[in-house]
Amino acid sequence: MKEKVIILFYPLVDPSTMIPNLPFSVMNLERMVRDLPVKTIIIDERIEPDYESVIVKHKDNLLMAGVSSMSGYQMISGKKFSQFIKKTVNTPIVWGGWFPSVTPEIALNEDFIDIVIVGQGEIAFRELVIGLLQNTDISSIPGLGLKENGITINEPGPLIDEKLLPNVSLDIIEINKIIEI
C-alpha cells in the first residue's frame, strides 16, 4: 500500500502583491506529523500556482487536504483549491487559521469545508491525522469543528508553548523561490 499523503495549502494573500514571508502556518503543522506514516506536501500558491496537477498526482492516496486562511483574499483562493479537491477526490478538507478560528460556524456552512481547526492548531491537527489514519472517531478532538448531525465546535485545547513542539523544517519549502519574491 502506498504511503498516505496530506496536502497543506497556503493560499495567496494578495494576488497583486507577493509578500516575501515563509508559510509558517502550514510549516507549523508539518512538524507535528513528520513522525507519522504520511507524506506531507506543502503547496505555497505564490510559487506553485498549478496545485491542480499536484492534487491529481496524489488523489489516490490523499488522506486529507488542509487550507490555512486569514479573512480576505486567502478565502477566495482557498475556496478555489477546496472546490477542485471536492470535484477530484473524496477526502476531508480541513481549514485552519484566523478565518475559521474566529468564525467556525460560517466556515462550516460552506460545502467545500468539512472540518475546521479553531485556535492553536498543532495538537488538534496531529490528533486529527492520527484519527484519520486509524479510522477512529475524531468528533471529540479539542479544537475541531465538524459537520456531524449539524455543526459541532469543540472547545479549543490548552495553549502549548511553541518551544515544546518539534522544530520547523526549512527543507520542506522552496526557500530560494520565496527569497526571489
- For 102-156, write each residue's pLDDT tens digit: 999 999 999 999 999 999 999 999 999 999 999 999 999 999 999 988 999 999 9
97: left (phi over 0), alpha (psi -120 to 50) or beta: left
pLDDT at 179 over 70: no
Q: What cell numbers appear for 104 in the block?
A: 467556525
The pLDDT score that the predictor gives to residue 20 is 66
pLDDT at 181 over 70: no
Mean pLDDT on 80-97: 97
The pLDDT score that the predictor gives to residue 73 is 80
* Secondary structure letter of residue 166 according to DSSP: P
The pLDDT score that the predictor gives to residue 121 is 94
How many angstroms separate the Cα of 60 from the Cα of each of 52, 63, 89, 145, 158?
A: 14, 9, 8, 26, 35
pLDDT at 18 over 80: no
Between 62 and 173, where is the model more confident? 62
Percent of the chain with pLDDT over 90: 75
Contact of 98 with 71, CB cutoff 8 Å: yes
Mapped onto helix, strand or coil, the DSSP state of residue 84 is: helix
Q: How many CA atoms lie within 13 A of 131 on its CB side?
A: 15
Q: How far is it, in rounded angstroms, from Cα 131 to Cα 37?
A: 13
The pLDDT score that the predictor gives to residue 63 is 98
Q: What cell numbers appear for 163 in the block?
A: 518551544
Q: How far is it, in rounded angstroms, from Cα 74 to Cα 134?
A: 31
